[in-house]
């Protein structure tokens, strides 16, 4: 069993030594260490993973013991995160997440599939997942999320805008996929916008949802070449592959505790 520390603090001389020393003195063996210093802001970010065998501090007390170093979070490799997937009518991202979770690619418990439509109930059922149709009922949704102890919300082509209250409750815990290479083609019908502009590439973007629609910190982006022969329908088909890919990669980063947010940027360690 490993512990994973995510730390953010002002950069200062000896910070790496101080933390690695602390781990070593308590008999931890470092398995992985990644750090990044934002040169402009002088901000220090670290992800540190160590083996807990023989570690002198009990898991429940580790977080407190490390607080002196800065803004921290500590997670444990044997504790699966709990995810809720929000969907509407498109099934491709939902299937992709369910298949990747089942194959072990995404290490999480998909504790609920929540929708504003009934359409995809059968998909959730085929994978033995609980499905909740709660259209226009944010309070019920929030209550369910609390009850299920949800760590991560995945908007898998969920076609409804969340309220600022909802987003603030789960800030940087909501990952959305937008079907364009943001910041191009914000808003509705990006494939139609792309077709009209005559671009030669289309893209998809996974990002944290914030109160500003399609403007949250970007986690992952990918693109595909297109040509004049591609109709809007072709763009939609090609785009589905991109959406699946960027969304699942962003979710994997989150589940592996690799994401930090600094201003409107993500740092992936």
Please report, as ranges, the residues that interact with a second copy according to CB under 8 A: 13-18, 20-21, 23-25, 27-37, 39, 91-92, 95, 99, 103, 105, 126, 181-185, 196-201, 203, 217-223, 227-229, 231, 237, 240-241, 245, 263-268
Q: Which is nearer to a second copy, 29 or 163 (CB)?
A: 29
Q: Which of 214, 234, 241, 257 is catalytic?
A: 214
Q: Are 37 and 259 in contact (CB under 8 A)?
A: no
User: Is 234 an active-site residue?
Assistant: no
3-state SS track over the chain = CEEEEEEEEECCCCHHHHHHHHHHHCCCEEEEEEEEEECCCCEEEEEEEEECCCCCCCHHHHHHHHHHHCEEEEEECCCCEEEEEEECCCCHHHHHHHHHHHCCCCCEEEEEEEECCCCCHHHHHHCCCCEEECCCCHHHHHHHHHHCCCCEEEECCCCCCCCHHHHHHCCCCEEEEECCCCCCCCCCCHHHHHHHHCCCEEEEEEEECCCCCCCCCEEEEEEEECCCCCCHHHHHHHHHHHHHHHHHHHHHHHHCCCEEEECCEEEEC
- In whole angstroms, the minimum distance from the beta carbon of 78 to a second copy comes to 19
Nearer to a second copy, 153 or 216 (CB): 216
Least distance to a second copy from the beta carbon of 258, Å?
A: 11
Burial class (CB in 10 A: 0-12, 13-18, 19+), 148: middle
Of the two residues 105 and 211, which places its CB atom closer to a second copy in the complex?
A: 105
Residues marked active site are found at 214
């Amino acid at each position: 069993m490993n512990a994973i520390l995510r730390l953010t603090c002002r950069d200062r001389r000896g910070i790496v030594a101080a933390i690695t020393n602390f781990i070593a003195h308590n008999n931890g063996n470092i398995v992985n260490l990644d750090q990044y210093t934002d040169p402009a802001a002088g901000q220090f970010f670290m992800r540190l993973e160590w083996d807990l065998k023989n570690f002198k501090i009990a898991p429940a007390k580790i977080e407190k013991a490390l607080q002196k170093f800065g803004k921290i979070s500590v997670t444990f490799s044997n504790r699966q995160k709990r995810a809720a997937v929000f969907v509407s009518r498109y099934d491709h991202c939902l299937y992709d997440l369910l298949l990747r979770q089942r194959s072990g690619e995404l290490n999480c418990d998909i504790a609920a599939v929540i929708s504003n439509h009934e359409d995809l109930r059968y998909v959730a059922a085929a994978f033995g997942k609980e499905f909740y149709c709660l259209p226009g009922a944010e309070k019920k949704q929030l209550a369910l999320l609390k009850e299920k102890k949800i760590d991560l919300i995945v908007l898998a082509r969920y076609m409804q805008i969340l309220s600022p209250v909802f987003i603030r409750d789960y800030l940087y815990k909501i990952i959305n996929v937008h079907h364009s290479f943001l910041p191009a083609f914000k808003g509705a019908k990006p494939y139609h916008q792309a077709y009209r502009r005559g671009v030669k590439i289309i893209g998809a973007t996974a990002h944290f949802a914030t109160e500003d629609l399609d403007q949250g910190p970007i986690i992952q982006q990918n693109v595909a070449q297109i040509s004049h022969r591609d109709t809007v329908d072709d763009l939609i088909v090609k785009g589905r592959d991109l959406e699946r890919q960027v969304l699942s990669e962003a979710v994997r980063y989150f589940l592996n505790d690799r994401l930090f947010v600094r201003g409107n940027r993500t740092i992936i360690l």
